[in-house]
Chain A
Amino acid sequence: MSDQPEGTRLDPWLDSYAARALGMKASEIRALFAVANRPEVVSLAGGMPFIGGLPLEEIGELIKRLIIERGEVALQYGSGQGDQGLREQILDVMRLEGVTAHPDDIVVTTGSQQALDLVAKIFLNPGDVVVAEAPSYVGALGVFRAYEADVEHVPMDADGIIPSALEEALDRLKAEGRPVKFLYLVPNFHNPAGVTLSMDRRPQIVEIARRRGILVIEDNPYGLLGFDSEPLPAMHSLNPEGVIYLGSFSKTLGPGFRIGWAVAPHAVKEKLVLASESAILCPSNASQLAISTYLDHHDWLGQIKKFREQYRERRDAIISGLEEHIPEASWNVPAGGFYTWVKLPEGLDSKSMLPRAVTARVAYVPGTAFYYHGQGADHMRLSFCYPTPERILEGVRRLATVIESELELVETFGTATRPGPDTVSFPAPDLA
């Protein structure tokens, strides 16, 4: 051997990272999605709201006036808990789902994602268990992983999480000596499953949690986006002391403002404010005041109604496309929100199939993203919120050819089952 050069692993700080950072890395799947934003690709992957449906000129004028007239406040630091006026308006928004609270109970956050992060930060120790639906929101799973928690998934059916299955899981976890810190739920138009927790089950689930002393995290970004019915009462309304409610303007207005909130019992709220101040000092004053002005001066309820109609039209497009082109799959027909959850024909693996889909210029999110330990390969999440109905139909047509080719392969090789579970990966923001 000649002179021995020193090796490099290209990151001198590798040995300095916290254990929780070890799983934070770019994945092959994430790289594939780099193509999804190109116009040639029909992306049924991203959960991006249809911002084109907003009155952008009016919002532009509103922001312009805000900066000219109140710029010294809008561009300054604000309260760590969030703007008082906006918190009062948030009460009006939540009242539509039966949430009654005081403005002091609300913490405004940088999207409800930050609220989720704060909740995890103040409650989770490494090894703690979070109970969540099966499947569950990928962005939440990423947060739980970052705090080194474990996630126990509980099955859902068409009416949402199954109370008896929840009881069984909690019994088992108790017997195993694994402490459950909270129950994380997306009760309305679930991401990714599209289902809604039924009226009958809401009190049952709240009661199970209350009886066992388990906090409920109710993540509700889609509750006002039902197509055919009025919103169901929030779980928070059934037990305000046992439920932390997370809300967001990302789906009813725009995620670019990055404004969400948490409603929590008083003592919890105090900790959330302190945790938020240590993380971000305060949420964006400019965004908060822009939303506050929008709520004051714009028919925001009328805008939500328009969104509901637009999303219903897109939901109809994706369902009719699936019926026509992929009858061998099965799916739910969501009554609101952005997503349908498609079960693939026997033997297909949605993660393995993704490169073929990207080649065919269509993208989806593999089901594995929505399970903490990587199950779910037999499902995919299709989002219908962003593309036009025509593009959605084209996307489903392309997907049908991909599935047909993949089925041929599986028939040929007699397998598509991946040995060993994968782990959750961190989604790009527009894919969560």
Chain B
Amino acid sequence: MDVLILAGGLSHERDVSIRSGRRVADALRGVGVKADVRDVDSTLVPFLRSLSGTIVWPMLHGASGEDGSLQDILEMCGATYVGTDPRAARVAWSKPVAKTVAHQAGIATPDYVTLPASLFRELGADNVLDAMVDRLGLPLVVKPARGGSALGVTTVTAREDLPRAMVDCFAYDEVALIEKAISGVEVAAAVVGDGDSAYTLPAVEIVTDGNYDYDARYNAGRTEYFTPARLDSDQAKAVSETALLAHRVLALRHLSRIDLILDSSGVPQLIDVNVAPGMTETSLFPQAIEASGRDLADVYKEIVGLAR
């Protein structure tokens, strides 16, 4: 079995993607799988078209890797690939769209509004921000509608800090998702498989001194992870069922990571879904695999085997 991992790209998460790609390739090579890592550049399409029998695993984080574009290219080139198809990836990539779909399926998600930068210009920033705070209250989480690794994300506790947070957010995307901040137990559920046969790995609980931001994600120290999460059986079941439901209703394939906050009532609130979850040294998906008692390579091989 030959595997081609696509990593790098031109997104803000290039560095994370390269690290993810190398880690997965190393694990697969360790069990005899021929795994190569390749960047995405102008030679990619002819290369993909020349492939025969190689399974492609797109591990690009951020735009073009997760927004369905690369998946469209893979389909056009007739590649057998790991992961969600272009249409579903497009839905999952947009946080507000994914939240809407999930909400319609009965999954709780923090109340939110989605606003483009242009609207603030047209309507007056203060008017919109005031209305926003009246509607959602404080604290709020301001985040790019599309993006990952917590880049451009700010938790705002005071009204006067909102303009700065909006400017930081719009540096990453023209559209902002402003969400009611939920306090509770932050967990990530890794999902493997498709449809009814999909299953979850042990949920990872994330405890940080502050926000789970870029620094907390990629520098060991500020974040403490508990895997499996310190949940009672009902809570653990609710997390697993919510993650599987999200995976299913969003038509995600082969692997995903569903980020949730278990609120004070014990209800899992959907925060984000990831079709190309990070696989770095500090990433959650590999931690979940290890907590399940299985080898990383074992699960990666299983995921590769699902490719189509």
Cβ contacts under 8 Å, A4 to chain B: 230
* Segment of A33-41, A98-106, A189-197, A214-222 in the binding face: A33-41
Mask, B189-222, CB within 8 Å of A = 1, is 0000000000000000001000000110011111
Cβ contacts under 8 Å, B125 to chain A: 412-414
Task: Determine whether the beta carbon of A355 is less than 8 Å from that of B171.
Answer: yes
For A353, give its contact among B41, B171, B227 (CB under 8 Å).
Answer: B171
Number of interface residues, chain B, beta carbon within 8 A: 48
Task: Give the most central of A7, A412, A419: most B CB within 10 Å.
Answer: A412
| A160 and B281 alpha carbons, distance in the complex (Å) | 45
Task: Give the most central of B18, B219, B222, B236: most A CB within 10 Å.
Answer: B219
* Segment of A8-16, A246-254, A297-305 in the binding face: A8-16
Task: Determine whether the beta carbon of A9 is less than 8 Å from that of B221.
Answer: yes
Asked whether B231 is an interface residue with its Cβ less than 8 Å from the other chain, the reply is yes
Task: Determine whether the beta carbon of A408 is less than 8 Å from that of B121.
Answer: yes
Task: Give the most central of A413, A414, A417, A418: most B CB within 10 Å.
Answer: A413
Asked whether B48 is an interface residue with its Cβ less than 8 Å from the other chain, the reply is no
Asked whether B87 is an interface residue with its Cβ less than 8 Å from the other chain, the reply is no
Task: Determine whether the beta carbon of A38 is less than 8 Å from that of B226.
Answer: no
| A34 and B148 alpha carbons, distance in the complex (Å) | 16
Task: Determine whether the beta carbon of B215 is less than 8 Å from that of A25.
Answer: yes
Asked whether A352 is an interface residue with its Cβ less than 8 Å from the other chain, the reply is yes
| A414 and B126 alpha carbons, distance in the complex (Å) | 9
- The smallest beta-carbon distance between B190 and chain A, in angstroms, is 16
Cβ contacts under 8 Å, B90 to chain A: none
Number of interface residues, chain A, beta carbon within 8 A: 45
Asked whether B12 is an interface residue with its Cβ less than 8 Å from the other chain, the reply is yes
Asked whether A264 is an interface residue with its Cβ less than 8 Å from the other chain, the reply is no
Asked whether B166 is an interface residue with its Cβ less than 8 Å from the other chain, the reply is yes
Asked whether B233 is an interface residue with its Cβ less than 8 Å from the other chain, the reply is yes
Asked whether A5 is an interface residue with its Cβ less than 8 Å from the other chain, the reply is yes
- The smallest beta-carbon distance between A351 and chain B, in angstroms, is 9
Task: Determine whether the beta carbon of B14 is less than 8 Å from that of A35.
Answer: yes
For B151, give its contact among A41, A355, A411 (CB under 8 Å).
Answer: A355
Task: Determine whether the beta carbon of B14 is less than 8 Å from that of A352.
Answer: no
For B171, give its contact among A14, A352, A415 (CB under 8 Å).
Answer: A352
Asked whether B13 is an interface residue with its Cβ less than 8 Å from the other chain, the reply is yes
Asked whether A229 is an interface residue with its Cβ less than 8 Å from the other chain, the reply is no
| A28 and B218 alpha carbons, distance in the complex (Å) | 9
For A415, give its contact among B16, B149, B167 (CB under 8 Å).
Answer: B167
Task: Determine whether the beta carbon of B225 is less than 8 Å from that of A7.
Answer: yes
Cβ contacts under 8 Å, B163 to chain A: 413-415
Task: Determine whether the beta carbon of B164 is less than 8 Å from that of A417.
Answer: yes
* Residue of B whose beta carbon sits closest to that of A35: B14
Asked whether A2 is an interface residue with its Cβ less than 8 Å from the other chain, the reply is yes
Task: Determine whether the beta carbon of B221 is less than 8 Å from that of A356.
Answer: no
- The smallest beta-carbon distance between B219 and chain A, in angstroms, is 4
Cβ contacts under 8 Å, B167 to chain A: 349, 352, 406, 409-410, 413, 415-416
Asked whether B295 is an interface residue with its Cβ less than 8 Å from the other chain, the reply is no
Mask, A393-432, CB within 8 Å of B = 1, is 0000000000000101111111111110000000000000
Mask, A344-364, CB within 8 Å of B = 1, is 000001001111101101000
Asked whether A278 is an interface residue with its Cβ less than 8 Å from the other chain, the reply is no
- The smallest beta-carbon distance between B52 and chain A, in angstroms, is 28
| A202 and B271 alpha carbons, distance in the complex (Å) | 59
| A416 and B165 alpha carbons, distance in the complex (Å) | 9
Asked whether A18 is an interface residue with its Cβ less than 8 Å from the other chain, the reply is no
Asked whether B11 is an interface residue with its Cβ less than 8 Å from the other chain, the reply is yes
* Residue of B whose beta carbon sits closest to that of A7: B224
Cβ contacts under 8 Å, B171 to chain A: 352-356, 406
Mask, B163-184, CB within 8 Å of A = 1, is 1101110111000000000000
Task: Determine whether the beta carbon of B225 is less than 8 Å from that of A8.
Answer: yes
| A412 and B121 alpha carbons, distance in the complex (Å) | 5
Asked whether A1 is an interface residue with its Cβ less than 8 Å from the other chain, the reply is yes
- The smallest beta-carbon distance between A308 and chain B, in angstroms, is 34
Cβ contacts under 8 Å, B151 to chain A: 28, 355
Cβ contacts under 8 Å, B282 to chain A: 10
Cβ contacts under 8 Å, B226 to chain A: 5-8
Cβ contacts under 8 Å, B2 to chain A: none
Q: Known: A2-B231, A35-B14, A355-B12. Contact between A11 and B117, CB under 8 A?
A: no
Cβ contacts under 8 Å, A274 to chain B: none
| A25 and B223 alpha carbons, distance in the complex (Å) | 14
For A355, give its contact among B152, B227, B228 (CB under 8 Å).
Answer: B152
Task: Give the most central of B13, B167, B215: most A CB within 10 Å.
Answer: B167
Task: Determine whether the beta carbon of B11 is less than 8 Å from that of A14.
Answer: no
| A229 and B231 alpha carbons, distance in the complex (Å) | 72
Asked whether A73 is an interface residue with its Cβ less than 8 Å from the other chain, the reply is no
* Residue of B whose beta carbon sits closest to that of A39: B41
Cβ contacts under 8 Å, A10 to chain B: 220, 223, 225, 281-282
Cβ contacts under 8 Å, A31 to chain B: 12-16, 149, 214, 218
For B164, give its contact among A2, A26, A419 (CB under 8 Å).
Answer: A419
Task: Determine whether the beta carbon of B225 is less than 8 Å from that of A35.
Answer: no
Asked whether A75 is an interface residue with its Cβ less than 8 Å from the other chain, the reply is no
- List chain B positions with a Cβ less than 8 A from chain A: 10-16, 18, 41, 117, 120-121, 125, 149, 151-152, 161, 163-164, 166-168, 170-172, 207, 214-215, 218-228, 230-233, 236, 281-282, 287, 291
- List chain A positions with a Cβ less than 8 A from chain B: 1-2, 4-11, 14, 25-28, 30-32, 34-35, 38, 40-41, 349, 352-356, 358-359, 361, 406, 408-419
A-B contacts, 13 of them at CB < 8 A, read A2-B231, A5-B291, A7-B207, A7-B225, A7-B226, A10-B220, A10-B225, A14-B221, A28-B215, A31-B149, A34-B18, A349-B167, A415-B167
Other than the given A1-B230, A355-B12, A356-B172, 6 more pairs (CB < 8 A) read A4-B230, A8-B226, A412-B120, A415-B163, A416-B167, A417-B164
7 A-B pairs with the lowest CB-CB distances in the bound complex, closest first: A34-B15, A11-B220, A413-B163, A25-B219, A7-B224, A10-B220, A28-B214
